[in-house]
Chains A and B, each alone.
Chain A
Amino acid sequence: MIELAGATVTAYTGTGHGGQQEILTILHPVTCTLVEQRVAVIGANGSGKSTLARLVNGLVLPSAGTVTVNGLDTLTHGAAVRRQVGFVFTDPDAQLVMPTAVEDIGLSLHRLDLSAAERDERARAALARFGLGDRAEVPVHALSGGQKQLLALAGVLATEPAVLVCDEPTTLLDLRWRSTVDTLLEGLDQQVLLVTHDLEAAARADRVLVVDEARVVFDGDPRQGVATYRDLMAVHR
């Protein structure tokens, strides 16, 4: 369960007139309790969606208010929260830091204090689960964009998090890989918070949050949420 209570994110933008530091609000107070299995976050570029997602695993800490995951506060129990919340970035190249697939998943498993043999076994099992079993020793840079995103997902899920936050995981993918990743995400046992521009995927969620100009302007039924977003963007079919 993800709880945001007045969670606000602000940042200093520099010194303005009179030597006063100017403060920019990146996300106005958000209060909601997310218990649904699939929650989608939609909104325009730069609206604050990613900031909202990053609040959930403590990559961004609230300037005011609180964010808790299964009762753990991201501010005071950041490490424990990150053990429970996996995060998938838009660009897998930003996420994959080791040279080969099996090594990268091995790195994720490092914090579990497993032996090298156990890590290797679990890493290969994770790769096999995502259809990358034969790519274990292949340099990451030689994988396709879709394979890289699957690898990033495999690396996160190998540690068995309770919650998965995905920040536009299909934005850079072609239709086939987008469908593959969507299907995988929909089949997961974990609670998934999906930031996306894919309105079809958002409509299939259990709940949708619409973010616009740093505010959550809609929270509720997915179809209504998508319609609200279309209205905001003045995109009609």
Chain B
Amino acid sequence: MSRRQDRHQRPAWSGPLGLYASGTTWLHRLGPGAKSVGLAVVGLLVLVVRGPWGAVLLLAAVTVAAASAGLRRRNVLRSLLPILVTAGVVGLYQWWQRGPAIAVEVAAGLVTVVLAACVVTATTRSDHLLDALGRALAPLRHVGLPPRTVALSVALMIRSVPALLATAGQVRDAARARGLERSPRALLVPAAVRTVARARSTGEALAARGLGD
């Protein structure tokens, strides 16, 4: 279907990064703690594994995990598009500077980590993630930091991804409506202001719900 024919409006954000997609797959059933450890291991392996074949194999493994989590391919590709573009640019630069093997290793590593993060956030509910983080961060209590508050901050940061992208979309539309779509100032300034305003209103909403107490 051509772009002209595909006139259905899409929501501001429908990708899996930061957005839970309900399901009953093994990854949905796996505890948030185990998935967080898995994500950390993937990140570590990306750093440790050397050579293009190892990087591609790791990417393939995470892709299989994403497929087994029942994530919609179109949504995954949409959310990964900026990373794929970034990986392409970085890969080309590395190819020019250090050769094809390093280029593949770096680009695949980047995509692997983001895809793994997508899988974790798409298969884990925020409140379950919050519980797991709260337990994992419990030792922080000994240095005077409330684990639940720190966990809430981390969970909110992860879940802010769709909201921030929605804000960027609104700002872009507002700039377009005024014929300013090519003005970086008309895009960046309101986006920054709205993001700060959203952070403040989120803080106020959390305070009103007694979550910072």
Closest partner residue, chain A, to B161 (CB atom):
A99
* CB contact list, B178-213 vs A, under 8 A: 201-202, 204-211, 213
Bound form: Cα–Cα A156–B127 in Å:
16
B204 CB contacts on chain A under 8 angstroms: 59, 89, 94
**Given A57-B208, A94-B201, A111-B211, residue A139 in contact with residue B127 (CB < 8 A):** no
How many angstroms from the CA of A193 to the CA of B159 in the assembled complex? Answer: 32
* A83 CB-CB contact with B under 8 Å: yes
Chain B binding surface SS class: helix
Known: A141-B162, A141-B166. A89 touches B20 (CB 8 A): no
CA distance A139 to B13 in the complex (A): 10
Determine how close the nearest CB of chain B comes to the CB of A155; give it in whole angstroms: 7
Across the two chains, which residue of chain B brings its CB closest to A115? B131
Contacts of B201 in A (CB 8 A): 89, 91, 94
CB distance from A217 to the nearest CB of B (A): 27
What size tier do the contact residues of chain A reach?
A: 20 to 34
Q: In chain A between 105 and 151, which residues have their CB closer than 8 angstroms to a CB of chain B?
A: 106-108, 110-111, 116, 119, 137, 139, 141-142
List of A residues within 8 angstroms of B159 by Cβ: 97-99
Complex contacts, B205 vs chain A, CB 8 Å: 89, 94-97
Known: A97-B202, A99-B19, A142-B11. A106 touches B125 (CB 8 A): yes
* A87 and B213 within 8 A (CB): no
Contacting residues of chain A (186-210) with chain B, CB-CB under 8 angstroms: none
A residues within 8 A CB of B127?
Answer: 98, 103, 106-107, 110, 116, 119
Interface digits, B10-40 against A, CB 8 Å rule (1 contact, 0 not)? 0111100011101000000000000000000
Cβ of A139: which chain B residues have Cβ within 8 Å of it? 11, 13-14, 19, 162
| Contact A110–B130 (Cβ < 8 Å) | yes
Minimal beta-carbon separation of B127 from chain A (angstroms): 4
> What residues of B have a CB within 8 angstroms of the CB of A96 in the complex?
205
| Contact present for B20 and A100 (CB under 8 Å) | yes
| Cα separation A59 to B204 with both chains bound (whole Å) | 8
* B126 within 8 Å of A (CB atoms): yes
Task: Assess the B162–A155 pair: CB atoms within 8 A.
Answer: no
Distance between A118 CB and nearest chain B CB, rounded to angstroms:
11
What is the distance, in angstroms, from A12's C-beta to the closest C-beta of chain B?
A: 18
Query: Is B208 within 8 A of A89, CB to CB?
Result: yes
Q: How far is B20's CA from A142's CA once the two chains are assembled, in angstroms?
A: 13
* A78 interfacial by beta-carbon distance below 8 Å: yes
Question: Shortest beta-carbon distance, B85 to chain A, in Å?
Answer: 24
State in angstroms the CA–CA spacing of A82 and B204 once bound together.
Answer: 12
Cα(A87)–Cα(B206), bound, Å:
10
Q: Is B156 an interface residue (CB 8 A)?
A: yes
Known: A107-B211, A111-B211. Is A97-B206 also a contact (CB below 8 A)? Answer: yes
| Inter-chain contacts of A106 with B (CB < 8 A) | 125-127
Interface residues in A63-83 (C-beta closer than 8 Å to B): 78-79, 82-83
B128 interface residue, CB < 8 Å from A?
yes
Contact assessment for B208 and A107 in the assembled complex, using a CB-CB cutoff below 8 Å? no
Q: Determine if B213 and A111 form an interchain contact, defined as CB atoms under 8 angstroms apart.
A: yes
Residue of A nearest to B132 (CB): A116
Are A110 and B211 in contact, CB atoms less than 8 angstroms apart? yes
Whether the Cβ atoms of B210 and A79 lie closer than 8 Å is yes
| Least CB distance, B164 to chain A, in whole angstroms | 12
Tell me, rounded to whole Å, the shortest Cβ–Cβ distance linking B155 to chain A: 8
Task: List A contacts of B163 (CB < 8 A).
Answer: 141
Q: How distant is the Cα of A59 from the Cα of B206 in the complex, in angstroms? A: 10
Q: Is the CB of A98 within 8 A of B209?
A: no
A103 x B12 contact (CB < 8 A):
no
Asked whether A141 lies within 8 Å of B20 as measured between CB atoms, the reply is no
Residues of B within 8 A of A137 (CB): 20, 22
A-B contact pairs, 16 of them (CB 8 A): A83-B213, A89-B204, A89-B205, A94-B204, A98-B127, A98-B159, A99-B159, A103-B20, A106-B125, A106-B126, A110-B130, A116-B131, A137-B22, A139-B13, A141-B13, A156-B209
Give chain B's interface residues, CB within 8 Å of chain A. Answer: 11-14, 18-20, 22, 125-128, 130-131, 148, 156, 159, 162-163, 166, 201-202, 204-211, 213
